[in-house]
Amino acid sequence: MGFETVDVYVEDGVGIIRLQRPVVLNAFNQQMGRELYQALKIVEKDTSVRAVLIMGSGRAFCAGQDLTDASAATAESLADAVRERYLPIITKMRHIRKPIVAAVHGAAAGAGASLALAADLRVASESAVFTLAFSKIGLVPDSGASYFLPRLIGVARAMELVLTARPVKSAEALQIGLVNRVVPDDQFETESLTWAKELAKGATKALGWSKELIYQGSEEDLLYILEKEAQFQDEAGHTSDFREGIQAFLEKRASSFTGQ
Ligand code: T3D
């Protein structure tokens, strides 16, 4: 695809988005923010894409805001930068009805950590390090970090990581629920892609609705969610993947889902 700071391509049903500013550990400048958002729109619309994998290039996932860009910013422009650059990306990730995996190797710092937190699932390489780096430069968590972090790891842990900006290695990240899986460095790319490809073979519509239910389930009241579950179950019950799932069960074989 014709982007400079982000690669986007499809492999076996997986829309792979790779951040491409390795010299600065894939730190976000304006262009990368814009191009990442466009890449997300592409994988959302492409019906051949049934799962999304976001990863970095070079030796890191993403070092957050490009601090050479931010140095001249005023408080007012920081507000604009956060609203205009990060808000569309984070909300788009939340609303894409396909599973999104963040594959984190090396550093995930500041808004780079937030980007990983906004994904539905996280796989980390053994040497990955997460840093809620905001307070180190006198800023507050943004790009959804203050929303995602306490929901994933609890308020006390989130508070510590934000107030101290202590780097968290992948073993601890797994133990506290910051990531779902940790894989050896030399298998990182293969394992991440394999997981995304497995997700891409799922009953895509049901997975998309499930994603929405799980997120709303952590925010809305029970009655609202019971009704929403009923509505989505009705829609899921009309998909060919549901018919295939039942047929496969009856025939004692693995399902072959098409995403329809
Ligand atoms: O303006 C707004 O929109 C406000 C929003 C802010 C949201 C945020 O994300 S705030 C947090 C910003 N990020 C950081 O504070 C992290 C800064 N980076 C680091 O602390 C370290 O680089 C790491 C811990 C991530 C990795 O350390 P290390 O030792 O592995 O690598 P390094 O040598 O520090 O970095 C390699 C190069 O990348 C280096 O350039 P050089 O010396 O080789 O020319 C370094 O300057 C550059 N780099 C790393 N992070 C950034 C960066 N350049 C620009 N911006 C960065 N964030």
Tens place of pLDDT for every residue, the chain, 260 residues? 679 999 999 999 999 999 999 999 999 999 999 999 999 999 999 999 999 999 999 999 999 999 998 654 665 688 888 999 999 999 999 999 999 999 999 999 999 999 999 999 999 999 999 999 999 999 999 999 999 999 999 999 999 999 999 999 999 999 999 999 999 999 999 999 999 999 999 999 999 999 999 999 998 898 888 888 888 989 999 999 999 999 998 999 999 999 99
Query: Is 176 a pocket residue for ligand 1 (Cβ < 6 Å)?
Result: no
68 Cβ closer than 6 Å to some ligand 1 atom = yes
State if residue 120 touches ligand 1 by the CB under 6 angstroms criterion: no
Cα angle: 84, vertex 90, 92; to 5 degrees: 95
**Ligand 1 pocket check for 79: Cβ under 6 Å:** no
Probe residue for ligand 1, chosen from 23, 25, 68, 136 as the CB with the greatest number of ligand atoms within 8 Å? 25
Phi, psi of 106 (to 5 degrees): 65, -140
Per-residue 3-state assignment (H helix, E strand, C coil) for 137-205: HCCCCCCCHHHHHHHHHCHHHHHHHHHHCCCEEHHHHHHHCCCCEEECHHHHHHHHHHHHHHHHCCCHH
pTM reported for the whole predicted model? 0.95
Helix runs in the chain, H state only = 30-45, 67-70, 75-81, 87-95, 111-118, 145-153, 155-164, 170-176, 188-200, 204-217, 222-236, 240-250
